[in-house]
Structure 1
Amino acid sequence: MLRALLEDYGLDDAEIGRETTFHDDLELESIDLVALAGSLRERYGDRVNFAAFVADLELDEIIALTVGQLADFVVASLRATEQG
């Protein structure tokens, strides 16, 4: 999903790791995170609520958000829904 978003900006060959930040490294704006949230919702439905995750963060935490933090959130959300 992230690769598809980055392709729109010509960044499809960008190095992405767990410590890659959405803001500083990938230079994504808040609207891009909204698009990513939409992709997550489309794929996982209510099992992964990115909007609720971001709502619990302070502005500086959102700016410093990493790919690894998002991946951990997705995994934790999916595990929580599997365990019921």
Structure 2
Amino acid sequence: MLATLLDEYGLDDVEVRMETTFNRDLELESIDLVTLAGLLEERYGDRVNFAEFLAGMEFDEIIELTVGRLVEHVVQSLKVAEAG
């Protein structure tokens, strides 16, 4: 999903690692996170609520959000959905 989003911005050659930040490293803005939220919803439905995840964060946390933290959220959300 992230590759799709980055490809739209011509960033398909950027190395993305768990510590890569969406804002500083990938230079994505809030509207791009909305797009990513839509892609997550298309893929996982209501099992992964990205908007709720972001709503629980302070502004500085959102600015420093890493790919790894999002991956952890997705994995945890899927485990909870599977168990419930």
Q: Under TM normalisation by the shorter chain, which class is it?
A: over 0.9
For each residue in 1:12-46, what CA deviation from the matched residue of structure 2 results, as whole angstroms up to 9, or x when unmatched?
01010000000000000000000000000011000
Q: Describe how 1:4-43 pairs up with structure 2 within 5 A.
A: 4-43=4-43
Q: Which residue of 2 aligns with 1:55?
A: 55
**TM-score for both structures, normalised by structure 1:** 0.99
Give the total of aligned pairs: 84
Equivalents in 2 of 1:43, 1:74: separation in Å? 11
Give the superposition deviation at 1:67. 0.1
Q: Secondary structure at the match of 1:10?
A: coil
1:79 aligns with 2:57: no
Instruction: Give unpaired runs (5+ residues) of structure 2.
Output: none
Provide the C-alpha distance between the structure 2 equivalents of 1:83 and 1:57, rounded to a whole number of angstroms: 25
Provide the alpha-carbon RMSD of the alignment.
0.3
Q: Unaligned stretches of 5+ in structure 1?
A: none
